[in-house]
């Protein structure tokens, strides 16, 4: 693509106007991928400054550079384009380079502290169930047709997003549901995505720290940006920040809830249990019509997720009966997922990795009246230190036994993290075990469990890795749970 076409929509300065006619084969922001006829865009990150890698990109053959400031040591045969913000530029240029694929698709963005993964994946399943070729982008990866692609971030970088959407479109995908993280909004990754619908699930204290959001208000405001990017908003009216989202939206909105007046309102909620299967039945009102339904995951938060899906897919024209049929049978890996590994003990894995998410899971499972509630969990290293106390406080309040273990310790000693979590249990009746090896922690929890107990293994869910010393080390939570259960059964 000609450089002038890549720069459409951007305010910029260029050192040589004639160079606007140069051809660009690809946009690069990792100097190791640079080669002749690529363009290197310098991003200023938390740990790395792209300016430090400009000469490396030059040595690999790159001659076109997008920068925020002039660099004195650049050779004279370079084309330099100055912009005010290279992240914003990357978003615009990526959309230009891949031909604005989001404009040719139905795009649904889901933001919130929790529920994003479940809602996005449910939407994909409902749409696919009625013959609409849909994909999903988020925490669990990128899925469409027979493709499964890992993602490093919940919301990929703008270049990867546009590249993925172009690949989806070329493969016949006409709709995509994607998780939109606060980090993705903050770092301009979705600035040029054409959202048809934006969904707000909820907001609670999370991702606050030197490597994430400086304040809760900044976190909240980043979330609200989605409703300046989409054509239609769907808002959880039960959340205390619902009005804030609605007031700051530049699009029309609709609402859903359990406890407040809304456009989609649930009531008569009843927990259901059939063997290992945990679910919930409820009735919801919409435009004066009452509808009874049942979903295959438990808890009030599952009802809210289902309402978000109902509101979204009905807006997109999917028949209500088809939506309810799909919701009655689908589950999401690692989201309050019951694993039938022990005959007389309910074993659940869940992605809950902050206080509010863990509290939702634990209180939901307590409604099923287990004899004892045992929870295995840890907390991430090097980030969101406040999570340790939040998680510990919740477990100390609701659990009979807490087994503290490793969960993405990164460059921290997991034992130090465990000891910090343990401070929450000083005045608690909850029994505490400290076992840094996560697989051993699962095993000990299940060995302790008696008939009628529930064991919750929280923090990883669908993930298949542990972050250790800055690296993703393979770790399959589900497989390790199965192995631990087999050990317990053999010993009995």
**pLDDT higher than 90, residue 270:** yes
pLDDT of residue 211: 62
pLDDT band at 232 (very low <50, low <70, confident <90, very high): very high
Residue 177 CA to residue 195 CA, distance in Å, equals 10
pTM: 0.84
pLDDT of residue 63: 97
Convert the pLDDT of each residue in 462-489 to its tens digit.
Answer: 888 999 999 989 999 999 999 999 999 9
Residue 161 CA to residue 92 CA, distance in Å, equals 12
Residue 12 CA: distances (Å) to CA of 15, 91, 255, 306, 311: 10, 14, 41, 45, 42
Instruction: Identify which of 178, 140, 172 has the alpha carbon closest to the alpha carbon of residue 158.
Output: 178
**pLDDT higher than 80, residue 210:** no
Which secondary structure element, helix H or strand E, spans residue 137, and what is its range? Answer: strand 134-138
* Cβ contacts of 320 within 8 Å, gap of 6 or more: 291, 310, 314
Q: What is the mean pLDDT of the chain?
A: 93
pLDDT of residue 461: 87
pLDDT band at 332 (very low <50, low <70, confident <90, very high): confident
Mean pLDDT for the stretch of residues 172-181: 96
* Cβ contacts of 478 within 8 Å, gap of 6 or more: 333, 334, 339, 349
Other Cβ atoms within 10 Å of 422 Cβ, number: 17
What's the maximum distance between 2 C-alpha atoms anywhere in the chain?
Answer: 79
Convert the pLDDT of each residue in 66-77 to its tens digit.
Answer: 999 999 889 999
**pLDDT higher than 70, residue 425:** yes
Instruction: Identify which of 182, 169, 37, 28 has the alpha carbon closest to the alpha carbon of residue 94.
Output: 28
The strand pairing partners of 88, in sequence order, are none
Residue 375 CA to residue 373 CA, distance in Å, equals 7
**pLDDT higher than 70, residue 209:** no
Mean pLDDT for the stretch of residues 186-195: 94
**pLDDT higher than 80, residue 149:** yes
């Amino acid at each position: 693509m000609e450089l002038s076409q890549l720069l459409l929509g951007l305010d910029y300065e260029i050192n040589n106007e004639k160079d606007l006619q140069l051809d660009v084969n690809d946009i690069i922001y990792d100097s190791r991928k640079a080669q002749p006829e690529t363009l290197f865009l310098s991003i200023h990150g938390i740990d790395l400054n792209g300016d430090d890698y400009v000469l490396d990109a030059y040595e690999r053959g790159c001659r076109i550079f997008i920068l925020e400031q002039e660099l004195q040591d650049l050779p004279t045969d370079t084309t330099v384009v100055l912009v005010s913000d290279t992240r914003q530029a990357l978003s615009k240029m990526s959309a230009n380079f891949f031909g604005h694929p989001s404009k040719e698709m139905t795009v649904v963005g889901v933001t919130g502290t929790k529920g994003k993964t479940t809602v996005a994946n449910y939407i994909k399943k409902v749409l696919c169930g009625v013959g609409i070729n849909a994909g999903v982008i988020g925490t669990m990866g990128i899925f469409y047709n027979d493709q499964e692609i890992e993602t490093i971030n919940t919301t990929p970088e703008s270049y990867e997003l546009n590249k993925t959407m172009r690949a989806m479109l070329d493969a016949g995908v006409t709709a995509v549901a994607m998780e939109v993280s606060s980090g993705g909004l903050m770092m301009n990754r979705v600035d040029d995505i054409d959202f048809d619908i934006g969904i707000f699930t909820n907001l609670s204290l999370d991702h606050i720290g030197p490597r994430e959001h400086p304040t809760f208000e900044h976190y909240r405001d980043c979330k609200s940006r989605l409703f300046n990017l989409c054509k239609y908003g769907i808002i959880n009216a039960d959340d205390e920040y619902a009005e804030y989202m609605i007031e700051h939206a530049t699009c029309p909105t609709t609402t859903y809830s359990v406890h407040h007046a809304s456009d989609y309102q649930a009531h008569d909620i009843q927990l259901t249990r059939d063997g290992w299967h945990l679910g919930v039945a409820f009735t919801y009102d919409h435009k004066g019509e009452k509808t009874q339904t049942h979903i295959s995951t438990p808890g009030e938060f599952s009802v809210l997720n289902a309402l978000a899906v109902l509101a979204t897919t009905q807006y997109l024209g999917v028949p209500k009966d088809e939506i309810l049929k799909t919701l009655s049978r689908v589950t999401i890996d690692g989201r309050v997922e019951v694993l039938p590994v022990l005959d007389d003990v309910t074993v659940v894995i869940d992605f809950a990795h902050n206080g509010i998410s863990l509290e939702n899971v634990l209180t939901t499972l307590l409604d099923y009246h287990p004899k004892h509630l045992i929870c295995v969990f840890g907390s991430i290293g090097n980030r969101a230190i406040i999570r340790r106390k939040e998680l510990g406080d919740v477990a100390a309040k609701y659990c009979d036994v807490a087994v503290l273990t490793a969960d993405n310790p990164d460059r921290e000693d997991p034992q130090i993290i465990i000891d910090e979590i343990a401070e929450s249990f000083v005045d608690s009746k909850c029994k505490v075990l400290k076992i840094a090896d996560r697989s051993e922690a699962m095993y000990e929890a299940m060995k302790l469990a008696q008939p009628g107990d529930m064991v919750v293994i929280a923090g990883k869910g669908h993930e298949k890795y542990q972050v250790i010393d800055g690296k993703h080390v393979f770790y399959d939570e589900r497989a390790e749970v199965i192995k631990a259960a087999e050990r317990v059964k053999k010993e009995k």
